[in-house]
Structure 1
């Protein structure tokens, strides 16, 4: 059964002692605010704080994570009622490798510039596993869930792990060789059934996977001609490079997610079957909310969010950030702007003399006027931007 999408979002609630409660209807939150029984705690996601403690909170939510290399789908689902109270896409940082390389070059330059040269000490350092570029992506997922756990009662996590092995049951056969042989049956160029060999569309040396999607069946003669340049094959393979970061940190991610309770793991082909049973298109949030479907129909509340993990350490005297605040706006502020009669939500990217640019869902450099923008939320460690 297809899920029902509701336009208004659920309001997160915490009591006077900071314990997270189940989200409530916006009308109920409005009455609590008007009567003075609650106050606004944060703007995005919108959360209110009660002025009295709740001794016996009822209910819990389950976090759903669709892990990925660049984008990670996250959802909070009440499995008893089928309500999806939060869904968003975490945009992972892609500059960590470049910054680590730059830091290494700075260290090397400082070491060789001093008069009294000291020997290199990097061989005495222990290698951190997983690598820092991989570890920061897994820790970013944990940062988002830890932040949501402050306003939502999370009792467990369901996660889809990226896999590069032979896991797809759609093709008959146990091994990769059997799956390719049963799928093609003969040489894809000449149709011969003698002296068949497997050919990797993307070579393993260039990041190609050993999955059936990256292999085709060729006869020995066509295989030789293809490598010699005498034949062409109009097919695209599957590379392993885009899933390298997601695959390497599986154990580290599961260890982090176990802090929230029970962790259930699913494969990609299972998520696809669950998502297609709901009739949803392919997206990161749809994959996340489809994990381990509850018994009843799903009811999705509110908009989808784009989440950016901000850098924890500020670079004092950064020459590229000469303007910290202008006309009451700062970098990464979530604003609501109007341009050409259309309402746009975005995060502040740059502050110019006459206008500022925003990161939006469709444009990473959207320019708006200061007078046409209104501040909605000032993030501290994570920037949540609604996508209406």
Structure 2
């Protein structure tokens, strides 16, 4: 993975290799500027020639992929990969809990007061906090990466799934629907909607085929709302049967359902319910795509957009495994992608804590009190630290985010899990808490190694 380089005035230069960064640090020509993502600052250089770099984004409802690339001959060369994990679900749950507590207090203490008129007006372009968080977090990281690398352009996957066009092919003419990407748009949407498993028996890790829920011979259409994914056995056994008849009479289906721990009635109800519902993650992405596009344009860099179908087309054509970061590297028009087997830095949004100093029961009553001070022995919850424990059951080196206690006995959240009861005397600060947790994922090969699955 490339190392970001800054000059003596903190202006971005071209990223260098890990070996060159190590030599510069050993010779005393550079100092560590930032640990996550790793960046060095040169002591003896001001300015220099740079090459144009592109930052590619693959926005998602839970994770957004980021990739820094540069043009290399007939294709693009990957320098860095990032997975930005959002916390929109935690924000939504916290707001719901706060609203519940507030509602209880009003009903308990203000029974005699008439309800007030709700005259609050939402501004134009307003998004719920859980969705606005995605836009703000991605925009913040684009700005931070601009300070670390000479990024001159952005590529965004703007249209993940155009559900209106997928559901009604006649809406936009022949050019869009009969192009090269037609099959990729539909297949990728169905994979996301049905959870990458057979809609009927729940089989996974098997080739899936597009299947008409209401058969064409019975008047079924080609609309995406009438399409599902089925394994080859279910597709062949269903044939021209109606959905209810298939679940009632198919012996092979019942045998496969039993193997996967499902029942026919529950599975039939799930299929019928899923057919009527749009893809939830697609709804979240579609709600924020234009807000993110507007925010990226306001940065002042040219923004190129692409579709989710083109991203999948590029990835499968080049034989690249599926991850969020590698999807970002495949966004937009491209001929080749080189040196994409680099580690991925996972950036998880954790928040900066809260002002609440009292823990509450589910009814909103206090059940415990937190510390009034945030720092203990020079450490604060969320800081990245290294703990060198010399002896005992927890002997070894532990690197991760710290959770402080007033006693000076800390908990450390590492990539392998939580380590409890580490004394502050063994801890060394790496980087102050910035509201994010970091860990690195090893690079993967063409066969999808390191625990990744090629889809």
Question: Which category describes the TM-score, using the shorter chain as reference length?
Answer: 0.7 to 0.9
- The match for 2:43 among 51, 57, 68 is 51
Checking the alignment, whether the CA contact within 8 Å between 2:402 and 2:410 is kept in structure 1 is no
Q: Distance in 1 between matches of 2:439 and 2:185?
A: 44
Query: Could you say if the C-alpha distance between residues 284 and 36 of structure 1 is closer, same or farther in structure 2, counting changes exceeding 3 Å?
Result: same
Relative to structure 2, which stretch is displaced further, 247-256 or 137-146?
137-146
- The match for 2:321 among 278, 281, 284 is 281
TM-score (norm 2): 0.63
For the pair 1:139 / 2:136, whether they are aligned, the reply is: yes
- The match for 1:252 among 261, 273, 291 is 291
Q: Distance in 1 between matches of 2:306 and 2:441?
A: 27
5 Å-filtered alignment, 1:34-49, equals 34-49=26-41
- The match for 2:78 among 78, 81, 84 is 84
Query: Could you say if the C-alpha distance between residues 386 and 345 of structure 1 is closer, same or farther in structure 2, counting changes exceeding 3 Å?
Result: farther
Query: Could you say if the C-alpha distance between residues 136 and 150 of structure 1 is closer, same or farther in structure 2, counting changes exceeding 3 Å?
Result: same
SS in 1 for 2:133: helix
| 1:18 CA displacement | 2.5
5 Å-filtered alignment, 1:1-388, equals 9-51=1-43, 54-80=46-72, 82-93=76-87, 94-108=89-103, 113=109, 117=113, 120-126=116-122, 129-160=126-157, 161-165=159-163, 166=166, 169-170=182-183, 194-197=217-220, 210=225, 212-213=227-228, 222=242, 240-258=279-297, 259-292=299-332, 294-295=334-335, 297-300=337-340, 302-311=342-351, 314-315=354-355, 317=357, 319=359, 322=371, 324=374, 330-335=380-385, 346-348=400-402, 356-358=411-413, 360=415, 365-367=417-419, 370=422, 375-388=429-442
Query: Could you say if the C-alpha distance between residues 184 and 23 of structure 1 is closer, same or farther in structure 2, counting changes exceeding 3 Å?
Result: closer
Runs of 5+ unmatched residues, structure 2: 167-176, 190-209, 251-263, 360-368, 443-455
Checking the alignment, whether the CA contact within 8 Å between 1:19 and 1:150 is kept in structure 2 is yes
* Relative contact order higher in (CA < 8 Å, ≥ 6 apart): 1
Q: How many residue pairs end up in the alignment?
A: 357
CA RMSD of aligned residues (A): 4.4
Checking the alignment, whether the CA contact within 8 Å between 2:184 and 2:310 is kept in structure 1 is no
TM-score (norm 1): 0.73
| 1:151 CA displacement | 0.9
Identify the structure with the greater helix proportion.
2
Q: Distance in 2 between matches of 1:271 and 1:172?
A: 10
